[in-house]
A = this chain, B = another copy of it.
């Protein structure tokens, strides 16, 4: 048999579900104190996420997409990026966004039905949340192309889900990244479900990582619940990108521990046993175990930190709750750089109706 091409896709895992190191950490792994700092961010993220769900349940937030279970993946992605890089997230990657400076009140404003949530006060050049699945992947490829054309040493990182990996935009982004050798990293967050559709129904591909082969990209599958594996996988991809070697596709194996959104009821389609089993692979627990083993973490420290998280989150929630609804005429703001006359007329009509003509 003559072989036209052959491929191998590596799987990365260092810290197993029980918090045991199952492989030698690479030399590039961050020192324990940095790992500790990231672990604290994971706890912070989880604290925020739980409060956001609670806000929705009490009618103070619109539909919200929780990130419970995705903490290692999201924090690992965010931690590997530089400020000048650009992130094109889906609607769920708060962890990566927080590390890039997005404020909790902005997340809440967005899901609270206020446009200003997307006007990130930091992370000014990051892409906004993208609701139409995977369209952000092509925007990231476009950003990467801009970086390449302008000779800027920046990388565009984008995330989509296992469902999003079926979307034609994701394929297009992978193809473009390969065709132009772009500084582009496609993160596929495989959390097992796309609302009610399991990963197995999305595609016949054995891995989602191999979708990168379609565009000739570097492909990698990593344990997305293992912060070390996430950091190493991202490091490799970012370095390749910065070195001009082109794009990567990384599949992060994680799990959606929550319903899809607060508008969803996963019990309709998902076995509780599966969720229970998934909890045994929780990214937070295993890292806590490991840090504990290193003498870097214990119950007391956790209690203190969780209290601090609660305090910090509450400040942001209060800021969100204190944010007044905008006057309706803002629906005309930023429609165009210069509003055409007939739009100005409609704006005037709205003001008249509001008794503020």
Q: When the two chains form their complex, are residues A5 and B175 in contact, meaning their CB atoms are under 8 A apart?
A: no
The distance from the CB of A264 to the nearest CB of chain B, in whole angstroms, is 22
Q: Is A211 at the interface (CB under 8 A from chain B)? A: yes
Contact residues of A: prevailing secondary structure: mixed
- A205 in complex: contacting residue of B178, B181, B207, B221, CB < 8 Å: B178
Mark contacts of A121-156 with chain B using CB atoms, 8 A cut-off: 1 yes-contact digit, 0 otherwise.
000000000000000000000000000000000000
Q: When the two chains form their complex, are residues B204 and A179 in contact, meaning their CB atoms are under 8 A apart?
A: yes
Q: Is A346 at the interface (CB under 8 A from chain B)? A: no
Chain B residues contacting A168 (CB-CB under 8 Å) are 168-169, 171-172
A: interface residue count bin: 35 or more
Q: Which of A56-64, A212-220, A337-345 contacts B (4 or more CB under 8 A)?
A: A212-220
Chain B residues contacting A206 (CB-CB under 8 Å) are 4-5, 216
Q: Which of A6-14, A40-48, A85-93, A290-298 contacts B (4 or more CB under 8 A)?
A: A6-14
Q: When the two chains form their complex, are residues A213 and B7 in contact, meaning their CB atoms are under 8 A apart?
A: yes
A181 CA to B204 CA in the complex, in Å? 7
Chain B residues contacting A207 (CB-CB under 8 Å) are 4-5
Q: When the two chains form their complex, are residues A215 and B204 in contact, meaning their CB atoms are under 8 A apart?
A: yes
The distance from the CB of A296 to the nearest CB of chain B, in whole angstroms, is 27
Q: When the two chains form their complex, are residues A1 and B5 in contact, meaning their CB atoms are under 8 A apart?
A: no
Q: Is A267 at the interface (CB under 8 A from chain B)? A: no
A113 CA to B221 CA in the complex, in Å? 51
Q: Is A356 at the interface (CB under 8 A from chain B)? A: no
Q: When the two chains form their complex, are residues A5 and B209 in contact, meaning their CB atoms are under 8 A apart?
A: yes
7 residue pairs from A and B, CB less than 8 Å apart: A4-B206, A166-B179, A168-B169, A178-B205, A179-B202, A204-B246, A211-B214
Residues of A within 8 A of B (CB): 1-13, 166, 168-169, 171-172, 175, 177-179, 181, 201-207, 209-211, 213-217, 221, 246
